[in-house]
Structure 1
Amino acid sequence: MDRRYTKIAATLFATFSTQALVQQAQAQSTPEASVLPEIKVTETTGSDFKADNASSTKFTAPILDTPKSITVITSEVMSQTGSTTLVEALRTTPGITFGAGEGGNPVGDRPFIRGFDAQSSTYVDGMRDLGSQSREIFNLESVEVIRGSSSAYGGGGSAGGSLNLVSKAPLKEELRAGSVALGTDNYKRVTADGNFVLSDTMAFRLNAMYHDQDVAGRDAISNSRWGIAPSLTFGMNTPTRVNLSYYHMQSDDIPDSGIPYNNPTLGRGDGSPVNVNRNNFYGLVNRDFRKTKADIFTARVDHDISSTLHLRNTTRFSKSSNDYIWTQPDDSKGNIYDGMVWRRVNSRVSEAKSLQNQTELFGEVLTGSVKHRFSTGVELSREEGTRDSYLVNTKAGGTAGTGCAAGSGGAVFNYNCTSLYNPNPFDPWTGYIARANKPTDATNTAISVYAFDTIELNKQWSVNAGIRYDKYRATSEQAGYPAVAAGASPTGVAINAVTASNLKNKSDFFNYQAGVVYKPTENSSVYASYATSSTPVGISNGDGSSEGGTLSTAIQNLDPERSKTYEIGTKWDVLDKKMLLTAAIFRTEKVNARVTAPDGTTQLAGNYTVDGVELGVAGNLTKNWQVFGGYTFLDSKIVDGGQTNIGTTAAPIYVPSTSNGKQFANIPRSSYSLWTTYAVMPKFTVGAGAFYTSRVYGNTTNTKWVPSYTRFDAMASYVIDKNITLQLNVQNLTDKVYFNQAYSSHYASIAPGRSAILALNVKY
């Protein structure tokens, strides 16, 4: 056995390829094969661009017969598009945007689905993945995008939808795969994927990744990370199976400071990002950093009670941390009109831990002539978060916190003021940094019970129903601290006193979903559905961006916000079930959003609506031609945003909010994506992608915004032999200058410029 493990280690790191191209090579019996890859998904053979089932047992019918909008981004799509992060993978799906981080909104993945923040509605293999992270894809089999209110599936949150990341797991067959990639901007990436069949009942799989790069078109920014994910399965091909898996990923980056807005609140700008060189980086290389870690250990036991009845228990412990000092190019003092930028410090030291257990009973049963495909379960979870920050003495003299006068850059102000048009990220900043050591500790616990059933009345009609009950408890504790004089402070800056707080919220809530499906033909469906969601306060455990995600005195006694989605849609599995076409129209309403009331308190009285249309396509048009993409139109409106105080704290004057009638922040009205590949020769495949997003506002008053854009990508791959493939990806082919995140104030994130990556993929 020792000799076998020695051979495993040597083999794994001697060969490199991507998992997606492994499937391509497996589908080709000879190098001359010109047919694009096909895989077998459950009982239906289809393209790697199209998955037929969602991974969770809570989906009790195939995607075709599920009355909900579901998009599966497969490993093939991620590989061909050159995606390496969750953000890059989600770019292939329209209607999803990303919000930026600042202050209370930490740097990390912050997806918006149908206009609603989904940072706290991201799951890994069906379990909530807490913490402000930037996620990798090296250990992902697919990404499932579930649209519409969906708290019945995952619990609190999910007003506009949720994401489920499906991890790679041990296989029943041998696999040796990996990839080595080099590119412009010092791009270097190595991945390895090995599956080892140890016996008839045991298999081991190991995925590993190393990645390092600068960012195209952006000065001084760099990303470096590595990860490893072993998993072991016992009892394969037996009624009882045990899977043990571990995931570790850590990063060390210089975060991007973005570009300041042309500030309209000062009466001189239009609210778009200022027109400066795309390379301008306003951060400080010798001060700014971002370090993250994520660890997930999972133990899953599956038992087949019978051929139609199954029991599963999953236990998971996870921990993630997000540690950074990051510069924001502050536009709030009018510095930009003097040609200057104040390098405002934002910092965070956070850690999130969770312990979860999920027990599921699922299967099929007949009651007379009616067939039921059901899933029931109980979930227990405890999530703990700790949030702290850094004390930073900028040594900026009289300008600290007040802005930068014209000509105030340079050493006299310790480089905290820099030129708007010609910033130097290598300025020798010499301030002091120390931990604040004043953490806020948050804890969430939940007990949940759920049941789903697809009732097949006959071959044409079925009913899909689900219900979930959550007993949710959240606490947030902050110790009290006295004021510290400048002379006693670790950085020489006076520290204000902190008042102790002990906040609590208790919420018990039900969520539902129901849908009727009519099948005109075996390979099509027409459906109508209704679903709800509940978002309790404190849902992000103090380490996320969701509105109300952190407990405060103003909201601690409020009930959850509630949303509901009405949807009508159709799905057609055409071209011999190799191409899935989808269409849906929907309306999502949040009728008790948290807003400021006329008496100045926070109440559940807001009204938000989103009306939309979605179109999707995934699969093979021909043996040689694959397509993946869609179009989304979202008409969002803040019907009632509450009240705004135009007076003072002592003498408030409340008027209707200026956001009334405006479009949601972080949501485009129109967006589309299209990725397609074509095998022009037996060994040669080309691909191209187009991605469009209309104007996106950063705030609810629609005064800060980023313009629309269209981005183009290209790909070419060549099969050298049955084991080796070369793939070239060119991202942002036309070197388009565009912005991919809009924060509510101060700045927008600028997207990378053109880059090229050449990968050598090996499989045997």
Structure 2
Amino acid sequence: MSNLHRPTSLRAKPRSTLSSGTVASSLALAISSTFIANVNAEEVRLDSLVVEDNAIQPDSNPYAQPGAVYKAKKLSGSKHSRDIAETPATMTVLTKEAIADSGKTELKDILSAQPGITLGTGEGGNSFGDRYIIRGYEARSDIFTDGLREPGLISRDTFALEQVEISKGPSSTFAGRGSTGGSVNSVTKKASLDDDFTELSGGLGTDDYQRYTLDSNKVINDDLAVRFNVLYSEAGIPARDPADEQRQGALLSGVYQASEDLKVSADYYHYRADDRPDLGTRLVDGKPYKGQGYPGIKNLDFQRSGADTLTLTFDYQLNSETRLENKTRYGKTTNDYVSTTKQASRTTPVTLSNRTFAGWQDNTYVGNQTNLIIDKEIGGKRHTIITGIELAQEKVKGATDAFLATGRSDGNAYNIDFSTNRATKQHSPTTDLTLNTASAYLMDTITLNQDWELFGGLRYDYFEYDLWLAASNGRGGPVPEKTYQYEDGFLNGHLGVVYSPWEDGNIYANVSSSSNINGGEADSAGNCGYGGICTDADGNYSNAKPEQSINLELGTKWNLMDEKLLLTAAVFRITKDDVIEGGNDSYQSGGSLNTGKNRVEGVELGLSGNLTPKLSGQFGIAVMDSETLESFNAENVGLPKANFADESANLQLRYQATPKFAVGGNATYSSEIKGGQPDAGSSGRVSIPGYSVYDVFATYQFNNQFELRANIQNLTDKEYYTAVYRGGSIVYIGDARSANLTLSYKF
């Protein structure tokens, strides 16, 4: 068998690499010595050999630490060759058990509870949908599934996930463009050749909540297995009637062991979300209006998103030291919405008017990734080399509107008749983007000796950008049809070192970089201030350098409690330079190219795993500071970043009171968040207050087949707000108190 992923932590002291022959010889010598030393004894006594059963159950997470339901042992992708405890970077990994206990089923709810992550809102310049901000930087395009980018602002559910991997800090070496503050990789459930199993679950709760899932694995023969996951759910938004949501999804996965060395796997993912969204409330004097908000127009508002994705993977073991992996993905995502809210006049706050956002967007993604993984001794040192190429094409078509009920429209996404509350979709797009990317990378992890490991890597990305914008009626008057075409490339790298003289802990340092391109946020098209393409004052494309980010991090990781508890701590500094700013009016294409610079620095602590044999926990806290260092507008210098929480924390505990009964809870804290334009600094004119929210849960295992789980979200019914944007016309409201019961049956 290959030793490609043999973790450093398994190497006994002294930590030199031991071959199987050396081990066998050592055992033989030890046994012989024992017999020789006792040759005249009447009785030979040997110590008992204890074999710990760490066999993975067929329906368990293959990446988790055995015996520690809240601790992930390793990441799923082949680009990270060491266990999480030995990788020099901040990483938060949520296992499926931790996700299930939390009671959260939306990826945005799970991520927004994590330290260092906040949510952004949609507005006129970018589409509505799940929008993440990691360590103060946009990450809505830095979402991956099983190691491949998954573009599109869509709702994402957890029904088919093994774990969620959050990598912090810039690293285009792993992720390609973007990833300034970090990236998110969702790991899906895969078919298994180990055994047959089926799990059915059904849940009922307040606000007409109902949720049903199926997870079934079937071994066809010794070489072929299939797995099927199904979801149906619907619920009202607590205290926000008529806002509600409906989810339907399926994941079909198969694995075929074609030979001892070749494994072929494939999966097809289908997902649909049909919601009546809630745009929250308005602001009065720069603060959220407390009381009844405006959940939209019942028979008009909707948001429908969907995904259909097919992935094919070949995994070939060339020899004991070399493995070849190839992934191909074809996927389509859709996002359609009409959402209304009430907008207050800045001069007369009591005067309200309807404000409506409407749009549609279709994303098509084709990608291929090939990785060659080599693990061998070179020059007397162990090298784990990962090299590969990645080809991708993203196509985005769509249209967006932001207008008042009585007048102006910026686009033609939908025709809306407010007398009948009906919307008619315009099928002709107003934006059409094609983004082709070709990438090559090389990474190496070198075990220098028993105490030192060195990590390094380089990646080059070449891209071709082609954006067509239809003629429109902008705020400054008619805007003619435009086409923007350009090509460029950028090089990024990372370098890290791990010093581990102790058996259970290490100290590490790393430096990593990332780059993002002009127009890198595909959903924003020609809206410069939202991450779309920026041009000169005349609306013509002018060469802009990619934005550059550098991350410096110093940290420590400790694998305790027989490797069932991981403690982490890190100090970091991210500096983003050559920032492309939105100019004085982000609704226009014209901006200020490579004129900005900002910085985020802070401390992040983490814990995951077993605190005692009965108490499990997942904990994280981030204390950060942000500052605008340079800007096209001198008034921005010194301002903090918008959509940024200086302090955030999350704690989830599970106490196994008896073999059958467990109880636990979740506490989430965020400090004040100020609104404003991304990367331009926040004046603090609009803001949402900090908050603390508490959830509780309990589970009871009747027998090996039946389990009952109860969840209460927002136990104290706290009124809180999760996101604010720009002028404050959108302030999202956190969910009120809700409760549900889920019964699961395994066989």
TM-score tier (shorter): 0.7 to 0.9
Match of 1:629 among 598, 619, 637: 619
1: distance between equivalents of 2:175 and 2:492?
Answer: 10
| Alignment match, 2:382 | 371
* Residues 196-595 of structure 1 aligned to structure 2 (within 5 Å): 196-235=218-257, 238-262=260-284, 269=285, 271-277=286-292, 280-334=293-347, 337-338=349-350, 340-389=351-400, 394=405, 396=406, 400=407, 430=421, 433-435=424-426, 437-480=428-471, 498-542=479-523, 549-554=531-536, 557-595=543-581
Deviation track 1:454-506 (CA, whole Å, cap 9, x = no partner) reads 1000111010001100001111012447x9xxxxxxxxxxx985511010232
2: distance between equivalents of 1:621 and 1:196?
Answer: 36
Please, what TM-score do these two structures have when normalized by structure 2? 0.85
Q: Which has the higher contact order (CA 8 A, sep 6+)?
A: 1
TM-superposed deviation, 1:153: 0.5
Match of 2:128 among 103, 107, 121: 107
* 2:622 pairs with 1:619: no
* 2:717 pairs with 1:735: yes
1: distance between equivalents of 2:250 and 2:464?
Answer: 34
| Alignment match, 1:7 | none
TM-superposed deviation, 1:393: 9.2
C-alpha spacing 1:472/1:736, structure 2 compared with 1 (3 Å): same
* 2:83 pairs with 1:62: yes
* 2:183 pairs with 1:187: no
2: distance between equivalents of 1:752 and 1:143?
Answer: 22
| One-letter identity of the residue aligned with 1:453 | D
* 1:177 and 1:762 in contact (8 A); partners too: yes
| Alignment match, 1:639 | 629
1: distance between equivalents of 2:61 and 2:273?
Answer: 33
TM-superposed deviation, 1:150: 1.1
1: distance between equivalents of 2:279 and 2:254?
Answer: 41
| Alignment match, 1:751 | 734
Deviation track 1:238-280 (CA, whole Å, cap 9, x = no partner) reads 2111111100101111011211112xxxxxx2x1112223xx3
Query: What SS is found at the alignment partner of 2:288?
Result: coil
| One-letter identity of the residue aligned with 2:296 | G
| Alignment match, 1:132 | 153
C-alpha spacing 1:496/1:286, structure 2 compared with 1 (3 Å): farther
Query: What SS is found at the alignment partner of 1:568?
Result: strand
Query: What SS is found at the alignment partner of 1:245?
Result: strand
Q: Percent identity?
A: 34
Runs of at least 5 residues in structure 2 that lack an aligned partner in the other structure: 1-54, 410-415, 585-589, 677-681
C-alpha spacing 1:236/1:711, structure 2 compared with 1 (3 Å): farther
| One-letter identity of the residue aligned with 1:323 | D
C-alpha spacing 1:96/1:297, structure 2 compared with 1 (3 Å): same
| One-letter identity of the residue aligned with 1:750 | I
TM-superposed deviation, 1:634: 0.9
TM-superposed deviation, 1:89: 2.0
TM-superposed deviation, 1:660: 2.1
* 1:290 and 1:325 in contact (8 A); partners too: yes
C-alpha spacing 1:212/1:516, structure 2 compared with 1 (3 Å): same
| One-letter identity of the residue aligned with 1:231 | S
C-alpha spacing 1:346/1:556, structure 2 compared with 1 (3 Å): farther
* 2:96 pairs with 1:49: no
* 2:592 and 2:632 in contact (8 A); partners too: no
Please, what TM-score do these two structures have when normalized by structure 1? 0.84
* 1:259 and 1:749 in contact (8 A); partners too: yes
2: distance between equivalents of 1:415 and 1:298?
Answer: 41
* Residues 148-187 of structure 1 aligned to structure 2 (within 5 Å): 148-172=169-193, 173-187=195-209
2: distance between equivalents of 1:159 and 1:452?
Answer: 19
| Alignment match, 1:265 | none
TM-superposed deviation, 1:387: 1.3
| One-letter identity of the residue aligned with 1:624 | K
2: distance between equivalents of 1:712 and 1:441?
Answer: 44
Query: What SS is found at the alignment partner of 2:607?
Result: strand
2: distance between equivalents of 1:590 and 1:458?
Answer: 35
| One-letter identity of the residue aligned with 1:579 | L
2: distance between equivalents of 1:144 and 1:384?
Answer: 26
2: distance between equivalents of 1:344 and 1:181?
Answer: 36
C-alpha spacing 1:236/1:166, structure 2 compared with 1 (3 Å): farther
| Alignment match, 2:649 | 672
TM-superposed deviation, 1:91: 3.9
* 2:618 pairs with 1:603: no
| One-letter identity of the residue aligned with 2:737 | R
Deviation track 1:184-217 (CA, whole Å, cap 9, x = no partner) reads 0000000000000001010000000001000112
Query: What SS is found at the alignment partner of 2:74?
Result: coil
2: distance between equivalents of 1:74 and 1:178?
Answer: 19
* 2:171 and 2:512 in contact (8 A); partners too: yes
| One-letter identity of the residue aligned with 2:238 | A
| One-letter identity of the residue aligned with 1:53 | K
* 1:537 and 1:556 in contact (8 A); partners too: no
* 1:711 and 1:733 in contact (8 A); partners too: yes
Match of 2:100 among 79, 84, 108: 79
| One-letter identity of the residue aligned with 2:443 | F
2: distance between equivalents of 1:469 and 1:350?
Answer: 29
| One-letter identity of the residue aligned with 2:174 | Y
| One-letter identity of the residue aligned with 2:740 | I
* Residues 643-722 of structure 1 aligned to structure 2 (within 5 Å): 643=633, 656-657=634-635, 659-699=636-676, 700-722=682-704
2: distance between equivalents of 1:681 and 1:293?
Answer: 42
Deviation track 1:73-111 (CA, whole Å, cap 9, x = no partner) reads 110110011121111222442111111111122111111
C-alpha spacing 1:546/1:712, structure 2 compared with 1 (3 Å): farther
Query: What SS is found at the alignment partner of 2:85?
Result: helix
* 1:634 and 1:669 in contact (8 A); partners too: yes
TM-superposed deviation, 1:695: 0.2
Query: What SS is found at the alignment partner of 2:99?
Result: helix
* 1:371 and 1:457 in contact (8 A); partners too: yes
* 1:289 and 1:324 in contact (8 A); partners too: yes
1: distance between equivalents of 2:73 and 2:115?
Answer: 20
* 1:592 and 1:606 in contact (8 A); partners too: yes
Query: What SS is found at the alignment partner of 1:558?
Result: coil
Bigger CA drift: 367-376 or 222-231? 367-376
* 2:282 and 2:288 in contact (8 A); partners too: yes
| One-letter identity of the residue aligned with 1:499 | P
1: distance between equivalents of 2:628 and 2:268?
Answer: 43
2: distance between equivalents of 1:667 and 1:532?
Answer: 21
2: distance between equivalents of 1:504 and 1:96?
Answer: 33
* 1:132 and 1:543 in contact (8 A); partners too: no
C-alpha spacing 1:304/1:679, structure 2 compared with 1 (3 Å): same
2: distance between equivalents of 1:532 and 1:732?
Answer: 38
TM-superposed deviation, 1:343: 1.3
Size of the aligned set, in residue pairs, is: 670
Query: What SS is found at the alignment partner of 1:687?
Result: strand
2: distance between equivalents of 1:50 and 1:628?
Answer: 8
* 2:621 and 2:650 in contact (8 A); partners too: yes
1: distance between equivalents of 2:307 and 2:221?
Answer: 31
Bigger CA drift: 567-576 or 542-551? 542-551
* 1:48 and 1:76 in contact (8 A); partners too: yes
| One-letter identity of the residue aligned with 2:520 | I
